[in-house]
């Protein structure tokens, strides 16, 4: 019999390649175990009816990784490179199966938490969009992020970006994103970013300066994708010295306050990445109304821009991410680039294209 979640696990296993052979193997084994009514089915029983957009497979993997990071899963840790494990991938599933059996209730509880990745690779996409906005408006930037998690991408100008033979951003940054782009955004790359205000909101914000916050963020990074883990650790070090305000709030009421009236002499930029799928339809509609109203108030001396990096098409089926820019006055929406969920590489469009509507 096919389990309600098994196809989601199989799709996620495919999405994990080529970056994470370990997760691909484990998720594939879990899919078979679900259909066999094994221990994975018992652990995930409370979540059988959860929406695919809530990413049940990644929630379970985050729970396992957290136990490994907390040194509460020593046998599984032997297979997880994030803690130095080198044991073969092919032998990982029996160890995980035993962990699920021995710590079933705890794993099930952790698997109920929302995924929080806050991948700083997405700053590569945001940087290019901000360069475009800065060149077009000639104004300093107020940067506001919804679904900001720990606010790591709000520090976009504190990172270095090695693009061909040049370094963009902050050259001496401890975080360097290597070859993050294919092609170039339509902007002057030598133009410095001038971010005069930055803030974010999240229903469940994470403080990256705390042990708990760092643990949570690390647990949702795929344990054998060392490059992403290294990027996160460097970003956490930078965040410790550059605190950013991320308020505990839903997006709509927070934006209503931030967008209440235009700010002359600056461009207000609202940014979101891999967030839309976690916001229900009613709040999405409310956000769109708020942006339209704020856009109607925007002027050439107080413009508004919306930058989104989201999966398009059918959630949990087609993994295609588009970077779009909507600009006011006018409300024109354009596709700037396509990318992947982790932001690197971002492929800039050689010509203007019509973006795909977000799934509804």
Would you list the DSSP string of 163-187?
ETTEEEE-TT-S-EEES-EES--SS
Q: What is the pLDDT of residue 360?
A: 44
Q: Could you tell me which of 140, 253, 260 has the C-alpha nearest to residue 198? A: 140
Confidence of residue 10 (pLDDT cuts 50, 70, 90): very high
**Beta strands across the sheet bearing 166-169:** 166-169, 160-163, 176-178
% the chain with pLDDT above 70: 96
**Do you find a cis peptide bond into 18, omega within 30 degrees of 0?**
yes
SS3 for 306?
strand
* Burial label, 332 (beta-carbon count in 10 A; 0-12, 13-18, 19+): exposed
Q: What is the pLDDT of residue 279?
A: 92
Q: Is 357 a residue whose pLDDT tops 90?
A: no
Confidence of residue 359 (pLDDT cuts 50, 70, 90): very low
Q: What is the pLDDT of residue 355?
A: 79
| pLDDT tens track for 152-173 | 999 999 999 999 999 999 999 9
Q: What is the pLDDT of residue 351?
A: 63
Q: Is 317 a residue whose pLDDT tops 60?
A: no
| pLDDT tens track for 115-165 | 988 999 999 999 999 999 999 999 999 999 999 999 999 999 999 999 999
Establish how many alpha carbons lie within 13 A of residue 1's alpha carbon, considering only the half-sphere containing its beta carbon: 5
Q: Is 353 a residue whose pLDDT tops 70?
A: no
pLDDT, the chain, mean: 94
Q: What is the pLDDT of residue 257?
A: 94
- What pTM was computed for the model? 0.92
Across 81-86, average pLDDT: 98
% the chain with pLDDT above 90: 88
* Burial label, 324 (beta-carbon count in 10 A; 0-12, 13-18, 19+): buried
Q: Is 247 a residue whose pLDDT tops 90?
A: yes
Q: What is the pLDDT of residue 313?
A: 65
Q: Is 315 a residue whose pLDDT tops 80?
A: no
The pair of structure tokens assigned to 241 is 């010295």
Q: Is 352 a residue whose pLDDT tops 70?
A: no
**Do you find a cis peptide bond into 345, omega within 30 degrees of 0?**
yes
């Amino acid at each position: 019999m096919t389990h309600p979640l098994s196809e989601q696990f199989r799709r996620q296993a495919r999405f994990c390649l080529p970056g994470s052979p370990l997760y691909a193997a484990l998720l594939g084994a879990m899919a078979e175990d679900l259909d066999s009514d094994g221990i994975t089915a018992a652990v995930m029983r409370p979540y059988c009816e959860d929406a695919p957009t809530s990413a049940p497979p990644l929630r379970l993997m985050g729970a396992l990784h957290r136990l490994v990071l907390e040194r509460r899963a020593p046998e599984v840790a032997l297979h997880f490179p994030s803690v130095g494990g080198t044991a073969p991938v092919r032998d990982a599933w029996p160890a995980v199966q035993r962990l699920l059996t021995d710590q079933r209730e705890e794993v099930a509880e952790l698997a109920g938490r929302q995924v929080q990745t806050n991948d700083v690779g997405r700053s590569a996409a945001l940087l290019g969009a901000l360069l475009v906005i800065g060149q077009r408006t000639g104004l300093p930037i107020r940067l506001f992020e919804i679904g900001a998690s720990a606010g790591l991408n709000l520090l976009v100008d504190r990172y270095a970006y090695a693009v061909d033979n040049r370094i963009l951003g902050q050259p001496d940054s401890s975080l360097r994103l290597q070859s993050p782009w294919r092609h170039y955004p339509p902007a002057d790359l030598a133009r410095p970013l001038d971010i005069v205000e930055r803030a974010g909101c999240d229903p469940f914000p994470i403080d990256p300066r705390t042990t708990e916050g760092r643990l949570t963020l690390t647990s949702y990074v795929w344990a054998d994708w060392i490059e992403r883990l290294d990027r996160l650790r460097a970003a956490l070090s930078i965040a410790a010295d550059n605190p950013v305000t991320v308020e505990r709030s839903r997006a709509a009421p927070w934006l209503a306050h931030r967008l209440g009236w235009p700010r002359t002499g600056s461009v207000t930029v609202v940014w979101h990445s891999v967030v839309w799928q976690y916001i229900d339809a009613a709040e999405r509609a409310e956000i769109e109304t708020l942006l339209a109203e704020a856009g109607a108030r925007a002027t050439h001396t107080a413009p508004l821009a919306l930058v989104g990096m989201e999966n398009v098409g059918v959630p949990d089926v087609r993994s295609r991410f588009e970077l779009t820019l909507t600009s006011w006055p006018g409300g024109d929406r354009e596709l700037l680039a396509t990318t992947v969920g982790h932001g690197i590489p971002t492929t800039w469009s050689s010509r203007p294209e019509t973006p795909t509507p977000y799934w509804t």
